[in-house]
Amino acid sequence: MPEYIENKEIIAQRIARFFKTGDVVNLGIGLPTLVGNYIPKEVTVILQSENGLIGLGPEPAPGGEDKDLTNAGGRAVTILPGGCFFDSATSFGIIRGGHVDYTVLGVLEVDQEGNLANYKIPGKMVPGMGGAMDLVAGSRHVIAATTHFEKSGASKLKRRCSLPLTAAHEVDYVVTDLGFFVVSGHSFILKEVFAPWTAEWIIAHTEADVELAEDILLWEPA
Amino acid sequence: MIAKPVISAREAAALIQPGSVVHIGGFLGCGSPDAIIAALCEAHIGELTIVCNDTAIYDPKTGRKTGLAPLILNHLVRKVITSHIGTNAETQKLMSSGEIEVELVPQGTLAERIRAAGFGLGGILTPTGAGTEVEQGKHVFEVNSRKYLLELPLPGDVAIIKAKKGDRAGNLVYAKTARNFNPIMAPACSLVIAEVEELVEIGTIDPDHVHTPSIFVDYLVTA
């Protein structure tokens, strides 16, 4: 095997292939935002931003910023034709009400029971959960987007999360830079291995229990 | 329709008692009543409990600050009930030193607790936070085999909110994502002061286009 070098672009590229035209999608801050760069041209998804819009467009050209139009990270954005704005209660009604098809979030730890920890490291990092707890509890499908390893080299796919949870038993899919996993509730089922890695190498380097899907595929990123 | 008093930001600040519970609209500074916030700082109205989506942006490296960050920087806040403090380094510092008490609430739950206060509800049941630290100390109900937490209303003494346009009766129209928490805070507070960019005569806003009905608004500030 080659030496592991984290590859966030691969993760974004693979997640972008989940969506079909008409899906309402919320992309979290950081790595999940990269997913927007890889959505195929023939697929039209409707991006939701929890600060109060659907139809999120690209960043404005320099000088085209509007102080009244930002995303949930506070950055200047645009809105596409047909998009609309709403207040925070409506925005989270959309989220909790199951009207968001996919939410893509970053990870501190994710475990084989579908638990996600991504908002707090006690004593170290306590920024607040923002909208993450509602997004994970309410969206129809939750995709955890993460490099397979921490900077220390530890696997981010755990048997059991040790950090405070963002939500319990809500994660459906995990996409790392090594592969795509489905959460079964008692293990991670490896559905796709990303070239040049192998299933054996991934299992050996993952703390959690990993089972192989019967229809496991090898994906060769473009 | 009855015209509401149009006052200065300084007069608005004088209506707010030290120690009040103040709801403040805005999302990382977008849609924030900046003129009233500046007047509160100038009048040094302190010991406030603030209810807000976030404590806006303060970056000590660049000095950049947005929205209600000056209230934190001027030590006017005793407690903050919010969903996020991660973009204001000063809030985190004052929380660690014990000067500010921080109650963190999931964003959708915060919105619904505010809405419940304004709309006569005894609380709301939400699945958000079930099985997490947020569940601690709360009543848990099972409805159709899913767990829900009882979250209580969050009323305020004063709301300071920001709109793009208001008429003299107090009907408000917000712009784009500057709407956020502003419309739900108005019904939730006893005294509501709306800062508007544009003040127009009664009858010039199409009634179909009003976001916040005039009856929720007590005072108007132009800025």
Structural domains counted in chain B: 1
Residue B214 DSSP symbol: G
- The boundaries of the domain holding residue B190 are 6-109+154-222
pLDDT recorded at residue B1: 85
The pair of structure tokens assigned to B17 is 């008692």
DSSP percent split of chain A into helix, strand, coil, nearest 5: 20, 30, 50
Could you give the percent of chain A with pLDDT greater than 90? 96
In degrees to the nearest 10, what's the CA dihedral of A200, A205, A207, A208? -30
CA distances from B213 to A88, B23, B85, B218 (A): 17, 18, 31, 11
The answer as to whether B77 is a domain residue is yes
pLDDT recorded at residue A157: 98
Strand bridging mode B146-151 / B140-143: antiparallel
**Contact with chain A for residue B27, Cβ under 8 A:** yes
Q: Which contiguous run of DSSP H or E holds residue A57?
A: strand A53-57
The CATH class of A8-219 is alpha beta
The pair of structure tokens assigned to B35 is 């003129």
Annotation says A109 is catalytic: no
Is B53 in contact with A88 (Cβ distance < 8 A)?
Answer: yes
List CB contacts of A5: < 8 A, sequence separation 6 or more: none
How many residues appear in chain A? 222
Among residues B156, B170, B158, B175, the alpha carbon closest in space to that of B199 is found at B170
CATH for B38:
3.40.1080.10
What residue spans define the domains of chain A?
Answer: 8-219
CA contacts within 13 A on the Cβ side of A177: 17
How many residues appear in chain B? 223
The pair of structure tokens assigned to B53 is 């989506």
Question: Taking 90 as the threshold, does the pLDDT of residue B71 lie above it?
Answer: yes
User: pLDDT for A102-159, tens place per residue?
Assistant: 999 999 999 999 999 999 999 898 999 999 999 999 999 999 999 999 999 999 999 9
Closest CB to B177: pick one of A69, A95, A166.
A69
| A-B Cβ pairs (cutoff 8 Å, strict) | 150
Q: Which residues of A83-115 are buried (b: 16+ CB within 10 A; e: fewer)?
A: bebbbbbbbbbbbbeeebbbbbbbbbbbbbbbb
Question: Taking 90 as the threshold, does the pLDDT of residue B46 lie above it?
Answer: yes
DSSP bridge pairs for B126: B149
Strand bridging mode A109-111 / A116-117: antiparallel
Is A96 in contact with B183 (Cβ distance < 8 A)?
Answer: no
Whose tokens are 């990269």? That residue is A34
In degrees to the nearest 10, what's the CA dihedral of B110, B155, B40, B99? -60
Residue B27 near residue B167, CB atoms below 8 Å: no
Residue A166 near residue A91, CB atoms below 8 Å: no
Residue B69 near residue B58, CB atoms below 8 Å: yes
Confidence at B60, pLDDT banded by 50, 70, 90: very high
The answer as to whether B22 is a domain residue is yes
User: pLDDT for B112-152, tens place per residue?
Assistant: 999 999 999 999 999 999 999 999 999 999 999 999 999 99
Q: Which of A9, A50, A200, A220 is catalytic?
A: A50
**Contact with chain A for residue B181, Cβ under 8 A:** yes
Is B131 in contact with A53 (Cβ distance < 8 A)?
Answer: no
